[in-house]
Amino acid sequence: MNLPGIAEAQVTIVVVPRERFSYTRESLESIYEYTKYPFNLIYVDGGSPSHIRDYLVAQATEKNFQLIRTEHYLSPNRARNLGLQQVTSKYVVFIDNDVVVTPGWLEAMVECAEETGAAVVSPLICQYLPLHTEVHCAGGESGVRVETKGETTRRRIIEKIYKQGRQVADVRPQLQRQQTGLAEFHCMMVRTKIFEKIGFLDEALLNTKEHVDLCMLVTEAGSSIYLEPQSLVTYVPGPPLEWIDIHYYMLRWSDAWELASLKRLRDKWNLTEDEYFQNKYKRLGWRRDMTIVSPLTRKVPFGKIGDRIAGKILRHMDKALNRYLTTRYAKRHLHNLQNQRSPQLVNAITATSES
C-alpha cells in the first residue's frame, strides 16, 4: 500500500459513499470539527453530482486530504478498497459519507486498539435525527452455526445486532469496552496489518453483508473485535432523499446487487439456503420501497383504495426501472472494471445484467 505525498500518521480515515450524496458537507465538516487526534484522510467520491464534486475538490485543497474520484458510481467495498490501497498507517477507519462524529471519537478507538490489541474497533453507532440519541449498533454476533440432525448438516449464518432502537441515555451507562462479534461499516477502525492475512475487502459483496463477511474473516484469522462505547457516532439515512440521490440510491439498493451479494455470501461460506436467505429474497427492494415508493404512494389523494392501486403501479415501475439501471450500469462500466483488474467485481456486475 502506498500513499505518496501524505505524511505518515497512525490513522487514515477513508470516507466512502453509502447511499446518497446530499449529506456530504455535514459529515465531512463534523470530522474536521470534532477530531483532534492526528489523522490523514482519503475521500473516495464515486460519481457525485457536480456541486458535490466541486465542494470536495475545494475542501481537499483547503484541508490537504487526498481525493479519489471516479465518474461512475461505486459499490461500497470497491470504494473502500480504492482508499485502502493507498493506506500506509497502522490503522484505517472506514466511515460512510452520512456519518456525524462526536468529540473524542477517534482517540477512544485508538486507545481501545492499543490497549486490547484488537484488529477491529467499533464505536457506539447511533441512527437518525436528532443526532446521538438512538442506538443503531452496540456490537453483536456474526459467524456460522453448524447444525447436524441425523445425516443432514446445515450451515446457518449468525447475524445479530445489539441494542438497536434503544435510547443512548438508557443504555450507555451500562455499556463498557468489551469484545464483540460484530462491527458495521457505518464506522469502524481496522488494524491495517490484518489485511495481510485476510486480503482486501470482497468486492463481489456489492451492497449487503460486507461487514458480516469481514468480521467472520477477522475472527477466523484469530483476531479480535471490540466495542468502544466511549466513541460515539451517528449515521443519518434518508428519507427524505434529494433528487440528486435517487439514481445512486436505486442502484446501490438494487435487487440485482442484493441478490448477487447474498449468493456470494452463501457460496463463500458454504451456507445452507435456509429461511434466512428465502426471507431476504422475498424482501428484495424493501429499502427502495420504504424510502422512495411508499412516500410517493402516500401523496396520492385517492383514499385507501387509491393508495393500494398507486402503490401497486409504482412498485411495478420501480422493479422495471431498477432492472434497467443495473443492466445499463453493467454494460457501461464493464470495461472500466476490467481495467481495474477486479475480477470478483466484474463477475458480480456481469451477473446482475444477466439476472
Residues 1-29 have pLDDT tens digits of: 333 333 457 999 999 999 999 999 999 99
The arithmetic mean of pLDDT across residues 238-247, rounded, is 90
Residues 174-187 have pLDDT tens digits of: 999 999 999 999 99
The arithmetic mean of pLDDT across residues 199-203, rounded, is 96
pLDDT of residue 239: 80
**Is the pLDDT confidence value at 135 over 90?**
yes
C-alpha cell at 311: 402503490
Length of the chain equals 355
- Asked whether the beta carbons of 187 and 137 are under 8 A apart, the reply is no
The arithmetic mean of pLDDT across residues 266-287, rounded, is 97
pLDDT of residue 340: 52
**Is the pLDDT confidence value at 132 over 60?**
yes
Whose cell is 461505486? That residue is 74
- Average of per-residue pLDDT values in the chain: 91
Stated pTM of the model: 0.92
